[in-house]
Amino acid sequence: MLPAALLTLAVLAAPAAGKAKPATNTKDPVCKMTVDAKSATVAVRGREYRVCSKYCGEALQKDPDKYLDKDGSVKAEKK
Ligand SMILES: [Zn+2]
């Protein structure tokens, strides 16, 4: 099996918008502020993220690779 074929399948199997996984992050991926269940959320690549404001949400959606790792985890939460 070719790794490239697996990668293509993974991309095709990515969930469509509207079926995003619920947010679990405790820090805003953009500004690193603490966020909680009452914070606003934005959907990025099939997963929701809590953000402090719509401005951070827009920044996250515009450039997700800057704030998120490939597996979808929030860089700001790592040490
Ligand atoms: Zn923020």
pLDDT at position 61: 98
Q: State the distance from the centre of ligand 1 to the C-alpha of 9, rounded, in angstroms.
A: 33
**How far does the centroid of ligand 1 lie from the alpha carbon of residue 47, in Å?**
17
Cα of 18 from ligand 1 centre, angstroms: 23
pLDDT at residue 48, rounded to an integer: 97
Separation between Cα atoms, residue 55 and residue 10, nearest integer Å:
30
2 against 47, higher pLDDT: 47
**Burial per residue of 14-51, b for 16 or more beta-carbon CB atoms within 10 angstroms, e otherwise:** eeeeeebeebebebbbbeeeebeeebebbbbbebebbb
Centre of ligand 1 to C-alpha 10, Å, is 30
Digit-coded pLDDT (tens) for 11-22: 555 555 457 899
Question: What's CA 18's distance to the chain center, in Å?
Answer: 14
State the distance from the centre of ligand 1 to the C-alpha of 50, rounded, in angstroms: 9
What would the pLDDT profile of 25-42 be if each residue is shown by its tens digit?
999 999 999 999 999 999
Query: d(Cα 75, Cα 62) in Å, to the nearest integer?
Result: 16
